[in-house]
Structure 1
Amino acid sequence: MAVTDEAIDKIKTMILSGELTPGARLPREADLAADLGVSRNSLREAVKALSLVRILDVRQGDGTYVTSLDAPLLIDALGFLLDFHQDDSVLDFLAVRRILEPAATALAARNLTTEAIATIKQVIAADSLQTPGHTLVEHDLKFHALIAAGSGNPVLTAMLESISLPTSRARIWRGLTQEGAYARTLQEHADILRAIENREPELAAARAVVHIAGVEDWLRRVKDATSAADSV
């Protein structure tokens, strides 16, 4: 188990045991790291990951709190991250995205209006490397949803929407653990939109393939490394 995952697992245990309840404030970073037996850096990464999926609420100048979600929802969301490395269905969803989304992107390059393209531009223009991670993920989902809708095919749009959220955790975890992931995502979004704006459907589709395949390849390597570590 990766060190960050270990820290997340220990925070989960504190919630399940009732030591941390919804609305409770976490102990000081130094104290909590010592209690959990993890480094302060690993604890920070764990807190960052859990705040992205709204398990923890980081309040600048105040502290970090367990959100006021109902306990079953807290447990489900924690399991969602902790089971991430063992869940092969995410790769299956990404493989389907890699098949469908380039087709939708090519159609969008043919069908999107100038006004719709301007709306997508506003979405990606709002992002920079200083944008909080959870906001980047929200904008990423919106970017892809607008392109799918721009395909003009409601069935294709609905299919892509149904598989978008199951792959969002891969996007969150990649952003947290892979250096430069957010910068690459922002650049790839700009490249895809440029091809759409230039009415180049084949190029837009190719760039969509590269974009999705990058996440898929990263996840496959993470799973292989985790399996190798578990077998030692």
Structure 2
Amino acid sequence: MAVTDEAIEKIKGMIVSGALRPGDRLPKESELAAELGLSRNSLREAVRALTLIRILDVRQGDGTYVTSLDPQLLLEALGFVVDFHRDDTALEFLAVRRILEPAATALACPRISDAELDALEAELEALGPDPSVDELVACDIRFHRGIVRASGNGVLCSLLDGLSGPAGRARVWRGLTREDAVDRTLREHRAILDALRDRDAEAARSWATAHITSHEQWLRTTL
């Protein structure tokens, strides 16, 4: 194990064991290095790495603190990682989305309010018959995010937000190359909304699956 990896594991161990809790300030660098049996350089590298993935928060002039460790905060790093995907691996991300998002849509079915459904429908209507690709993609992202948030599961919402990088790129590509992309997307969105209004969780799950599967099939054919 590399020295920096060892340092990361030791700090992680302190957090998992409860020796360091969310919001706690880390001991001074010299004290912590001695306590963990690490060089100060390897400790600094470990702190940098854990700061990047939002485990630690370095506050200039104040010290280094354990963050809230809220899952939504920690999962922000997923979007950073996802941005480095290759175009062909977008299929793998879409496959994960196809598993998770229909489940989130079904969870949202009894929870989403009529006012939230009205707001989503109003956004679809505001697009008009001939939106630009950018307008369509932005609306598509807001539409799905609004439904997933209504599921009440913050972890699921954060995971799907993290997966929106490649999904967003695929949406743009699809919009530019398929003449029926706008009509088909809006039809599928309205079918999902209708199922949610009917409080039919299985229909909502099925329409969400069909919607994402159509993206996946198109991308597979294109690649």
Q: Per the shorter chain, which TM-score range? A: 0.5 to 0.7
User: Could you tell me which residue of structure 2 aligns to residue 189 of structure 1?
Assistant: 189
The structure with more radius of gyration = 2
Shift of 1:221: 0.6
C-alpha distance in structure 1 between counterparts of 2:170 and 2:128, whole Å: 20
Gap runs ≥5 in structure 2: 1-82
Shift of 1:108: 1.1
Partner amino acid for 1:211? H
Shift of 1:193: 0.5
Shift of 1:148: 0.6
1:165 equivalent in alignment to 2:137: no
Instruction: Give the fraction of aligned pairs with identical amino acids, expressed as a percent.
Output: 44
Shift of 1:117: 1.3
Q: How does 1:1-232 map to 2 (within 5 A)?
A: 87-223=87-223
- Secondary structure of the corresponding residue to residue 119 of structure 2: helix
C-alpha distance in structure 1 between counterparts of 2:173 and 2:101, whole Å: 21
C-alpha distance in structure 1 between counterparts of 2:219 and 2:128, whole Å: 24
Partner amino acid for 2:146? L
- Secondary structure of the corresponding residue to residue 103 of structure 2: helix
Partner amino acid for 2:114? T
Shift of 1:218: 0.5
Root-mean-square deviation (Å): 1.7
Shift of 1:138: 0.4
Partner amino acid for 2:94? L
Deviations 1:15-47 (A, max 9, x none): xxxxxxxxxxxxxxxxxxxxxxxxxxxxxxxxx
C-alpha distance in structure 1 between counterparts of 2:216 and 2:129, whole Å: 22
Task: Give the TM-score, by structure 2 length.
Answer: 0.60
User: Could you tell me which residue of structure 2 aligns to residue 77 of structure 1?
Assistant: none
Shift of 1:92: 0.9
Gap runs ≥5 in structure 1: 1-79, 224-232
C-alpha distance in structure 2 between counterparts of 1:122 and 1:152, whole Å: 22
C-alpha distance in structure 1 between counterparts of 2:179 and 2:194, whole Å: 25
Shift of 1:121: 1.4
Shift of 1:114: 1.5
C-alpha distance in structure 2 between counterparts of 1:210 and 1:148, whole Å: 16
Shift of 1:105: 0.5
Deviations 1:20-76 (A, max 9, x none): xxxxxxxxxxxxxxxxxxxxxxxxxxxxxxxxxxxxxxxxxxxxxxxxxxxxxxxxx
Partner amino acid for 1:101? E
Q: Structure 1 segments of 4 or more deviating over 6 A?
A: none
C-alpha distance in structure 2 between counterparts of 1:115 and 1:209, whole Å: 24
C-alpha distance in structure 2 between counterparts of 1:110 and 1:93, whole Å: 27
* Count, aligned residues: 141
Shift of 1:100: 0.3
C-alpha distance in structure 1 between counterparts of 2:117 and 2:89, whole Å: 32
C-alpha distance in structure 1 between counterparts of 2:107 and 2:146, whole Å: 12
Partner amino acid for 2:122? Q
